Copies of this chain bind each other. A is one copy, B any other.
Amino acid sequence: MKFLSNRGQTMPPSPIRKLVPYADQAKERGVRVYHLNIGQPDIHTPNSFMDPIKNLQMDVLAYGPSAGLTSLRKKLAEYYNRFNIDVSYEDILVTTGGSEAIIFAMMAICDPGDEIIIPEPFYTNYNGFAVEAGVKIVPITSDIEDDFQLPPIESIAEKITDRTRGILICNPNNPTGYVYSKEELETLREIVLKNDLFLLSDEVYREFVYDGQTHTSIMHLEGLEDRTIMLDSVSKRYSACGARIGMIVSRNRQVIDACLRFGMARLCPPTIEQIGTEAGIDTPQEYFDRVIREYNDRRNVMVEMLRQMPGVVAPMPKGAFYLIVRLPVEDADKFAQWLLTDFNINKETVMLAPANGFYSTPGLGRDEVRIAYVLNVEAIKKAMNILAEGLKKYPGRTI
């Protein structure tokens, strides 16, 4: 009997999580593991989010509306308006995490076999969603030497076929930390209009930009009102990754209606976390100021220490809390595993995410890793020292 579908067999394992068994084994041997592999911040979830959950007065934990609680959607419209994103609550659907937002958007605009262009490296789970939706991801390669900026317009244009349905960016970018400029977004606007495409943008790191930059949303682009689909999530914003609350935002009512039909099939997103999210939107600005300052410090310490390691290439990320780093090793996958299985300093080691899983083009990113600066400055200093020593000792090093 052929037990599994091809889809079940070819689904790529997540590079963020596939080394977890080795980390677990290390922990069993008494080794402390600094987790820089996953975007799970150590930042406390604000009380504004958690308090209404603790104070819940609810006889029946009932289904909510498929589109999300109406009061939450109205509050979200207010939140977006603060960023000059002109939407009403009817342009917003609440989803079960940003993950579901991306799957619904892919399914609404793509039939199986249709294509979406994505700059690589990209958030690795896009691959999984594409397998589920039967969508073909067509990568355009951005380069570590150029800080992962948007590739030139010609290299995007040449990827467009009659199956292309849209271009998806992540801005600020996971995994590169790059923040697309207004000019780069204008370039995308031009391509999208010329070729009759959708422009999708995963903007879950909106707040996380450094060095006094401002973030431009695709929802700010003029003349694209019916072609833009913004994907969002509260996971990082309120350090509430376990809440599984995301959003689809689009002024194209047909897109919203199609996504809502998928939403009706799964009935509704989790009710309790929607209540937390609604209150979380009133989190005082000081919380974010403090959090952004903290990430900024972590970023500076990490990049400075990385750049002191011989053979390491570390572009300065402009946003989010990740960076892609080139290491002087042949196979970063093996190195990341080795750090967990064969290396420690005083019973401490570090877990990284091999970057090859963030590329779609085979062979790319083999000497790169994604590092998330989600630990405090002291922990980052320790982790970077461990990494520096590991690179010196690793038998597979190239310098």
Q: How far is B72's CA from A340's CA once the two chains are assembled, in angstroms?
A: 27
Contact B128 A262 (CB under 8 A): yes
Whether, in the assembled complex, A303 has its beta carbon less than 8 Å from a beta carbon of chain B, the answer is: no
Residue of B whose beta carbon sits closest to that of A113:
B112
Q: Within A1-31, which residues are at the interface with B (CB < 8 Å)? A: 1, 3-9, 11-14, 17
Q: Which chain B positions have C-beta within 8 A of A53? A: 53-54, 56, 272
Q: Which chain B positions have C-beta within 8 A of A227? A: 1
Whether, in the assembled complex, A50 has its beta carbon less than 8 Å from a beta carbon of chain B, the answer is: yes
Given contact pairs A4-B258, A59-B45, A63-B38, A244 touches B269 in the complex (Cβ within 8 A): yes
Residue of B whose beta carbon sits closest to that of A42:
B60
Chain A facing B: main interface SS: loop
Bitwise, A90-111 to B at CB < 8 A (1) or not (0) is 0000001101100000011111
Whether, in the assembled complex, A221 has its beta carbon less than 8 Å from a beta carbon of chain B, the answer is: no
20 contacts between A and B (CB under 8 A): A4-B108, A4-B258, A6-B111, A7-B111, A8-B108, A8-B258, A9-B258, A38-B63, A40-B62, A40-B63, A42-B60, A45-B58, A53-B54, A54-B54, A60-B239, A99-B266, A112-B112, A125-B267, A242-B272, A272-B273
Using a CB–CB cutoff of 8 Å, the interface residues on chain A facing chain B are 1, 3-9, 11-14, 17, 38, 40-45, 49-50, 53-56, 58-64, 66, 96-97, 99-100, 107-112, 114, 125, 127-129, 132, 134, 165, 196, 226-227, 238-244, 252, 254-255, 258-259, 261-262, 264-273, 276
